[in-house]
Chains A and B, each alone.
Chain A
Amino acid sequence: MAPADPTADGISPAPRFDPDSDQWVRVLSGSGPQREAALARLHGLLLRIASGELQRRGGQFRITGPELDDLAYQAAADALLAIVVKLSQFRGESKFTTWAYKFVIFEVSAKIGRHFWNNPAVRMDAEDWERLPDRLGLDPARETERRELAGEVRRAVDEHLTPRQRQVFVAIVLNGVPMDALVTELGSSRNAIYKTMFDARSKLRDVLAAKGYLNVQTSRHS
């Protein structure tokens, strides 16, 4: 439900958005107690979404009780701040609430990523190549294939990836560091890490296809 519209009794310009979204934007762009009430209502919505999202992702981390509530509260508060700052960027391509929920979902992801380093199960400098077959879900019984594959991938990584691509590949693929946690650790962005990994995957595929390990035709078919 949208907040009360302070201009409801006056002459107002035609809405640019659907009625509920228009009302949210008008009230949040205004001032006074109606804006304060709308902010409080929006915070309540964001808190509900943050709590639901943290519960939905419960298997990804070990946070419970008051710490989980605190994380939800922080995500909602930070999302609210971002929404207020970026309000003029809302273009009405979706409902206002859908646009707003996106911010709180992103905040939840970022906070889970940061929380990973509170009690990390892995170290950034670890490099156990014997893990690779398991990380790719290979059959433990196929020992020869597992050894050959790990050796060839390691050689391709060592000889063809840039230091940054290597760092990201090892962290994500060998060590299982979640991407958002790596973003925090490297002070980077999700987009930059993904692009680095994307380019690394593409390069490794070309190298292994050229050596005949992967089917060249399927290698080129993406």
Chain B
Amino acid sequence: MNGWTALDRFLRTDPRDVGCAEAMELLHVYAELAAAGAPAAERYPGIAAHLAACGPCGEDFDGLLAAVRSPAE
């Protein structure tokens, strides 16, 4: 991959991206669907697009998914 292709990828934005506020608002719903193996990304494509592009929200999603999957108390 040359430099311009890398830059192109970095600058590319997805119009479906809902932004942090909406993704954070529904993150518990999305994570529970994902943990259950349900097609969360198909149901919430705007959140899936955001989590793919936003490092901090993606990190929160990974953390919540790990929490949901962790053994109960």
Nearest residue, chain B, Cβ from A183: B56
B61–chain A nearest beta-carbon distance, Å:
9
Q: Is the CB of B64 within 8 A of A205?
A: no
If A98-B32, A149-B7 touch, does A142 touch B2 (CB 8 Å cutoff)? yes
* Cβ contacts under 8 Å, B56 to chain A: 109, 178-180, 190
Q: Is the CB of A201 within 8 A of B11?
A: yes
B46-64: which residues lie under 8 A (CB-CB) from chain A?
Answer: 54-57, 59-60, 62-64
- Residue total for B at the interface (Cβ-Cβ under 8 A): 38
* Contact code string A1-19 (vs B, CB < 8 Å = 1, else 0): 1000000000000000000
Interface assignment of B66: CB less than 8 Å from any CB of chain A? yes
Q: Is the CB of B20 within 8 A of A108?
A: no
Question: Which of B11, B15, B60 is packed against the most chain A CB atoms within 10 Å?
Answer: B11
A182-222: which residues lie under 8 A (CB-CB) from chain B?
Answer: 189-191, 194-195, 198, 201-202, 204-205, 208, 213-215, 218-219, 222
Interface assignment of B29: CB less than 8 Å from any CB of chain A? yes
Interface assignment of A146: CB less than 8 Å from any CB of chain B? yes
- Residue total for A at the interface (Cβ-Cβ under 8 A): 52
Interface assignment of A153: CB less than 8 Å from any CB of chain B? yes
B1-25: which residues lie under 8 A (CB-CB) from chain A?
Answer: 2-4, 6-8, 10-15, 17, 19-21, 24
Q: How far is the CA of A204 from the CA of B4 in the complex (A)?
A: 13
* Cβ contacts under 8 Å, A149 to chain B: 3-4, 7
If A56-B66, A218-B8 touch, does A205 touch B13 (CB 8 Å cutoff)? yes
If A105-B60, A179-B56, A195-B19 touch, does A94 touch B7 (CB 8 Å cutoff)? no
Interface assignment of A57: CB less than 8 Å from any CB of chain B? yes
Q: Is the CB of A222 within 8 A of B68?
A: no
A88-146: which residues lie under 8 A (CB-CB) from chain B?
Answer: 93-95, 98-99, 101-102, 104-106, 108-109, 133, 136-139, 142, 145-146
A94–chain B nearest beta-carbon distance, Å:
4
B27-73: which residues lie under 8 A (CB-CB) from chain A?
Answer: 27-29, 31-32, 54-57, 59-60, 62-64, 66-68, 70, 72-73
Q: How far is the CA of A198 from the CA of B10 in the complex (A)?
A: 10
If A98-B28, A101-B68, A180-B56 touch, does A56 touch B63 (CB 8 Å cutoff)? yes
Binding site for B on A (CB under 8 A): 1, 41, 44-45, 48-49, 52-53, 56-57, 93-95, 98-99, 101-102, 104-106, 108-109, 133, 136-139, 142, 145-146, 149, 153, 178-180, 189-191, 194-195, 198, 201-202, 204-205, 208, 213-215, 218-219, 222
